[in-house]
Amino acid sequence: MLLQSLTFAEPLLRIAGGLQLLQLPGMIVAQRSLGWHAELDRLSLVNRRLVGAIAFGIISYVFGTALLNFLVTAEIVNSRLGVALCWLQALAWTLRAVLQFVWILPSWPPSAGRALGQLFSAIYSALALTYLTLGLARLSSV
């Protein structure tokens, strides 16, 4: 077992899955607070569909990898493929956190509630650090 001595790995992976799932209701609140539907309605049909397809892909990835964290926890923390998945997640969530801080938060409208934007920032940062911790723990256990 690759991470057998690291008893924190499985609970940490489940926490990450929970954080990923926490975004889904957050997205519902965000779309209302930020007026996504009104703005999307101004796009041409093809662009509206492209944005919808991108959003569906992102939601599917986030939800799917969260489910994997719960359904195949031991396999993720105890296999090379699982550790590679952790590194992929670390990269994805680090990039998302950086975008949130550098690009999105500065333009977040006060009317949408700054706390919501900051909550997303905290979630993305926690996910990045969680997956980075799991990936680094694997490197140090070799």
- For the beta carbon of residue 3, count every other beta carbon within 10 angstroms: 22
User: What pLDDT, on a 0 to 100 scale, did the predictor assign at position 89?
Assistant: 97
User: What pLDDT, on a 0 to 100 scale, did the predictor assign at position 139?
Assistant: 67
User: What pLDDT, on a 0 to 100 scale, did the predictor assign at position 141?
Assistant: 59
Per-10-residue mean pLDDT of the chain, 142 residues long, equals 63 96 89 90 96 95 96 92 94 97 92 87 96 84 52
Residues ≥6 apart with Cβ < 8 Å to 27: 59
Give residue-wise pLDDT tens across range 98-111.
999 999 999 988 88
Q: Are 76 and 86 in contact (CB under 8 A)?
A: yes
